[in-house]
Structure formats: C-alpha cells, structure tokens
Chains A and B, each alone.
Chain A
Amino acid sequence: MSIIQVSHLKKSFGNLQVLKDVSFNVEKGDVIAILGSSGSGKSTLLRCLIDLEKIDDGTIAIDGEKFVENGKYMPASVVKNATLKMGMVFQHFNLFPHMSVIKNLEKPVKLVKKDININLREKSMALLAKVGLADKAEVYPDSLSGGQKQRVAIVRALMMNPEIMLFDEPTSSLDPEITKEVLYTMKQLAEEKMTMLIVTHEIGFAKEVAAKILFMSDGEILESGTPDEIFNNPKNERTKLFLNNSY
C-alpha cells in the first residue's frame, strides 16, 4: 500500500484554480522531487498534504488513513493524526527565534507527545550531532547561518518521528556554497529510507537522489517518472522547455 495516496485533488484560491485534478501515489521510502515553473502549484500541493491549506475536492490518504475524502474532511483528531505522520521544512526555516536551538527541538515534542518515554536530550543531541551542529545547542537561531538554520529546522521536524518529510524549496534562500550542507543532510535522510517529497530547483540533486520526479505545470502533474525518463526522454514539450531553461 502506498504511504501517500492522492486522488483528484482540486484546490482554488478564489477564482484561480491552482490544483486541477491532481492524482499520484508515493511508496514508502521513496524520494520524490517535484519540479515545475513558478506558480505551477508545487507549494500549494505540499501545503494541502499537511493541512496548511484546505482542498476543495479529492481524497488524501496518509499511511492508509483518509483524512479527507471527496473534499470532505474527517474529524479534527483524524486529520491531526494523519498529518502528524509528516514533517515539513520551509524555504524560510521558520525556526522559533525566541527559543534556543535545543528548545526549538524539544519544546514541540514536550507539548505534543503525551508520553515521552525516551531520553529527549539524548535524542536531540544525537540528531544535532548528526547534522554537525552539536556545539550550537544553546545558541539562538539569530546567530546561525542560513544552512545551519535549515539543518536545525530539519532536525526539529525529525524530533516528531515523522514517516514522511515534506520539503518546500529548502535551499532556495541559501548561498550555493551553503546549499551543499543542507543537501548533504537530506541525502543522509534519503539513504535511511525516509519517505521524502521535495520541491526543489536543484536539478542535479533531484537527478541524483530522487526515485521519481513529478513535473508540474499549471496546476497539473504533466509528467512523472524516473529521473532518467524525465531528463533524458521527456514526453511533453513543456517539460522539455522547462528542463532546457533550467540547465
């Protein structure tokens, strides 16, 4: 069974239909890169999956659990239970500026998980060490570089033990040099078989890490396939055009 099942998803903002009948499945452990031009609906798609936007029609099931069916949402507890299986990383990090790094990581866990039977500090420190930031536990986000902030944001999402990670242009506001650190962390996650959906403009990274590419255009998934299929053999003219412009 696919860990994410989306069928006939439709979403409009006012008169603007941003997602037009989007359907796709994601298998557990797969890394999916979502490409497409600006305004094609990539961010909106991720935001709908994690309930930051309400969809108008369609069905979304996470780990077999439908939290919205034919545009009708299940009770709040069901929605929350499903969306909590996902973590999300934003372009602008959205770390909590009034909390130290360690508190950014631990406070949400303490608030959300009722029974913390593990040693929280051990876990947060181990994850920080993994992304090379063990020495930054006590500092505040304002003294971190963009790449460091984003790695903290990734760890903060991982603290909740998600089964799926959503990334919305995680490196788009970073310098090319610093982008590497974040991509490295994401690659590590991919190797550990984390299911990941990544909206990115890093074509090279998508090619290397993704099992499957979704190419979006104008609110639709125009084409999907392995990197090889998409990059070396795009069927659609618009995909070709986009890829040519991206190199």
Chain B
Amino acid sequence: MLDGAKITVLIFVVVITVSIPLGFIVTLLGKTPYKPVTWLINIYITVMRGTPLILQIFFVYFVVPHIPPYITFDRINAALVAFILNYAAYFAEIFRGGLLAIDKGQSEAAKVLGLNKLQTYIHIIIPQMIRVSLPSLSNEAITLVKDTSLVYVIGVAEISYVAKTAVSKHVSIMPFVMAGILYLLLILILTVVLRLIEKKFRYTSKSL
C-alpha cells in the first residue's frame, strides 16, 4: 500500500510541477496576436476540458502508439503525459482569469515608472496573478490527488489499484479503508501546505 502511495505522490508531484508552468505558457500563448496560435490553444483547451480525463489516458496509452509519429509510453509515462496535458489546460484557464482580474492601471503604473514589459510581468503582474489564482489552484491540486486514482485503468499500481488487488486477495475490505485514510492524510498535508502558501501571498500588513 505504501508503494502505491509513493506512486500516487510521484504522479501528483510531477504533474503539479510540470503542468503549472506549462499552463502559464499556454495562457501566454493564448494572448499572442498570432491568430493560428490562439486558435490552436483554444482547440487544445476545449478538447482537454470537454472530454473525460479517463478517455485522455486511454488515448495516450492505446491510441498514440498507432498514429504518427508512433510514440509509445509505458503505463506511468502515459498517465503522466495525459494528466499533464489535462491539468495544464485547467491551470491555463485559471491563470487567464487571474490575469483578467488585474487592473490595467498596474501595468500602466509600471510603464510610466520605466519598467519594461518583462520586468512588469515578473515583478508586477505574475505575483498578483498567483495571488488571485491561488484558491482555484488549491482546489485543482486537491482534485488532482484524487484524480490520480484514475490511472488504475491502465494498470499503474497507485493506492487505489493496490487496494483493489489486496481486497481481492485477502477477501477483506480493510485495504479500501486504508486507502481512504491514505488519501485523506495526503490531502490534509497538502491543505496545510497550500494554506501556508496562500498566507505568504496574502499581502496585508503584518504589523500595525
């Protein structure tokens, strides 16, 4: 069961660390003035949000190897690719909303002070975007922990998969209970971490 938990955590960590930056890049690409690029981005986001994740996992694992350029993934990599593509789309939408929430006056103030576009993004826009997006990001992160159980459909031995195998083998429902407790624990830890991060980004005066 603990090996299963390791896989669950591994999937979570890899997906979060890759799909958040990727999602942000998707957001930026969606804002370029080049129409073909924004169309592609829109199609990508629509497909990712409009089809079930489980189908996307199947697609990457079973279909992608049969279409050019014939890339084959082992189970875990297929799962990771599907999750990353899926979550990046959701994160991209969250960031897009976050950017829209930032007043235009912020970049204007930065401009008249002489900051260039890159400095404005790095020092003014992104920190505020993260703050605005954090509650939604947290929700997605917690959903992700539970979503990882979907990868059992292609036989990746994460918590749920291990639990189900153990249930059949020992004819006891205890493994399911333990699996539930493990998920709860993981989410509890994650919640604490997210709280700390949110606190760090809450910019109200600490003293006075």
Measuring CB to CB, which residues of chain A are less than 8 angstroms from any residue of chain B?
50-52, 80, 83-84, 86-88, 90, 92, 94-100, 107-108, 111-112, 138-140, 142-143, 156-157, 160
Contacts and interface: CB of A to CB of B under 8 A. Distances in A.
A152 B204 CA distance: 16
B111 A52 contact: yes
A140 B112 contact: no
Given A88-B112, A111-B114, 11 more contacts: A80-B114, A94-B106, A100-B205, A111-B123, A138-B205, A140-B203, A143-B204, A156-B113, A157-B112, A157-B113, A160-B113
B43 interface: no
B119 interface: yes
Interface residues of B, number: 23
Contacts of B168: none
Contacts of A87: 112-113
B208 interface: yes
Contact of A52 (B103, B108, B113, B119): B108
23 contacts: A51-B111, A52-B112, A87-B113, A90-B109, A92-B103, A94-B105, A94-B108, A96-B106, A97-B128, A98-B128, A98-B131, A98-B201, A98-B203, A108-B115, A111-B114, A111-B115, A111-B123, A112-B114, A142-B203, A142-B204, A142-B205, A157-B112, A157-B113
Interface string B176-208: 000000000000000000000000010111011
B28 interface: no
Interface in B89-108: 103, 105-106, 108
A139 B127 CA distance: 18
Contact of A112 (B115, B128, B201, B205): B115
Interface of B: 103, 105-106, 108-115, 119, 123-124, 127-128, 131, 201, 203-205, 207-208
A140 B124 contact: no
B132 to A, nearest CB: 10
B109 A160 contact: no
B76 to A, nearest CB: 38
Contacts of B113: 87, 108, 112, 156-157, 160
Nearest to A153: B109
A96 B109 contact: yes
Q: Which of A98, A140, A157 has the most CB of B within 10 A?
A: A98
A98 B115 CA distance: 16
Nearest to B105: A94
Given A98-B127, A142-B205, A92 B112 contact: no
